[in-house]
Structure 1
Amino acid sequence: MSTPQTHDDAQASVHAATRLRAMISDGELPPGAKLSEESVARTLGISRNTLRESFTTLAAETLVVRIPHRGVFVTEPSAADVRDLYAARRIIESGAVLWGEMDDALLGRLREIVCAALDAKRTGDVAVMADANQDFHRTLVSAPGSASLLSGMDRVLARMRLVFHMMAEDPQFHARYAVRNAEVLAALEDGAGERAAQLLRDSLTAARDELLHRLG
């Protein structure tokens, strides 16, 4: 008979899942990486039983996959994953732009992010550019003020990190979308929400098609 999970165990499992999700999002755990129970549990300072609960959470989010007799691996995205993610993003992000509260503080934050991305474009710093672009989209989704919506977006963006690994050989990929994000911001600053939403949808569609082309 299995031992019932205590409140502390459940909290530790949630915390571990959050840590692992962030490690995937930050690129510390790339697609296809094997997650050794012993090593990961030691790194996170938790029991292997607690870690297995975390793996169950991440598997449900399709961030990891369990392969019988082989172990747990970070997911390698497929074309179906790309289509699914961008279908969700087109709805979530354009909805946030159309119905969120784009106040001066939020526009100021977006302006800082775009400037950072364009500066990184000029210096050729792909990692900074990629991070800024992700931050731009996350900040857009913060506009409605919904913690639940933002939490969902964080899970989407963690999966997106796995997708973006396939574009590592194209340093201009993130540069193209830094420019597109600047165009979205300009429309928002002009108070043209519908135009901003359309530019955003066009940008997401273009990125999806580029990724699908790379997958063949």
Structure 2
Amino acid sequence: MTRPAPTSPPPVTLSERVAEQLRRMITQGELSPGQRLSEQALSESLDISRNTLREVFRVLTKDGLLKHAPNRGVFVAVPSIASIIDIYRVRRLIECQALREAYPRHPAKARMRQAVESGLRHRAASDWLGVGTDNMAFHMGIVELADSERLNQLFAQVLAELRLAFGLLRDPEFLHAPYVDMNQKILELAEAGEFGKAATELNEYLVHSERLVLAAYARRIEAEGLNGI
């Protein structure tokens, strides 16, 4: 029997490409929770029509990254306490398992190493936005150890929502500085082949991070009455 020829993935549409660009901007901390998005400014800067941009807004609103407020416009979403708890639940399920079952020579370890080294450089320069982006890259590298494109796509969405949660903290140094060393410790365990210990360390790390973000969110709600745009 002749095997059927493999089918090519469908071409990426303009709206999908722009949606990914905005999702990446959120993940890199370039857009902040609660920020209002100007339709005119964005359509001009992205060189797309307003109709295409509105389709992008619909996609990202469905993903929970944007929120439309009637008579006010489109805003970057503000994560709720429930969504933050769910983000960390998903992170523990995906990241810890990916790390525990990693193939020792997987190339994603090199990307984790690059993220850690970049984080150290950015921390030395007090570039906390850069440190946060390096942290996203490190955890994306952990998930890539699982060799699943579906998981990679799912986790990219989780990281965008996570960056919005991080954006609720007023002091990025307080948020990011300790985790540079924690990332390095997890990496060193993985490079030594101690994947079980690395996964245990990561689980404790995520519990600590979740508590910190939730506490910061609660303080901001109390101070500003913030309950989502």
The interval holding the TM-score normalised by the smaller chain is 0.7 to 0.9
Mapping 1:12-91, distance limit 5 Å: 12-91=14-93
Task: Map residues 108-119 of structure 1 onto 2, 5 A cutoff.
Answer: 108-119=110-121
Shift of residue 206, structure 1, vs aligned partner: 0.5
| RMSD, aligned CA | 2.0
The correspondence of residues 1-216 of structure 1 with structure 2, limited to 5 A, is 11-103=13-105, 105-216=107-218
> Do the aligned partners of residues 174 and 134 (structure 1) sit closer, same or farther apart at CA in structure 2, a change above 3 Å counting?
same
8 Å Cα contact 1:100-1:145 kept in structure 2: no
Aligned residue for 2:13, secondary structure, equals helix
Report if the CA contact (8 A) 2:78-2:164 is conserved: yes
What code does the residue aligned with 1:115 have?
E
Aligned-pair CA distance for 1:134: 1.3
Structure 2 distance, partners of 1:46, 1:102, is: 44
TM-score normalised to the size of structure 2?
0.83
CA contact (8 A) 1:30 1:74 kept: yes
Structure-2 separation of matches of 1:123 and 1:41:
34
Distance, in Å, in 1 between the alignment partners of 2:73 and 2:26 is 17
How does the TM-score come out when normalised to structure 1?
A: 0.88
Larger deviation: 43-52 or 139-148? 43-52
**In structure 2, the residue corresponding to 1:187 is in which secondary structure?**
helix
The alpha carbon displacement at 1:98 in A equals: 1.9
CA contact (8 A) 1:102 1:143 kept: no
Alignment: residue pair count: 209
Q: Give the Cα–Cα distance (whole angstroms) in 1 for the partners of residues 216 and 174 of structure 2.
A: 14
Between structures 1 and 2, the one with greater helix share: 1
Would you say the 8 A contact 1:117–1:128 is kept in 2?
yes
User: Contact (CA 8 Å) 2:138, 2:183: kept in 1 or not?
Assistant: yes
Q: CA deviation at 1:34?
A: 1.4
User: Sequence identity of aligned pairs in percent?
Assistant: 34
SS of the equivalent of 1:65 reads strand
* Counterpart amino acid of residue 31 in structure 1: P
After TM superposition, give the deviation of residue 15 of structure 1 in Å.
Answer: 1.5
List per-residue Cα deviations over 1:31-54 (Å, max 9, x = no partner).
111122222222222222222221
Separation in structure 1 between the aligned mates of residue 213 and residue 89 of structure 2, nearest angstrom: 14
Residues 154, 102 of structure 1: alpha-carbon distance in 2 compared, 3 angstrom cutoff: farther
Structure 2: gaps of 5 or more residues: 1-9, 219-229
Q: Aligned equivalents of 1:170 and 1:29: distance in 2?
A: 15
CA gap 1:124/1:41 in 2 versus in 1, 3 angstroms:
closer
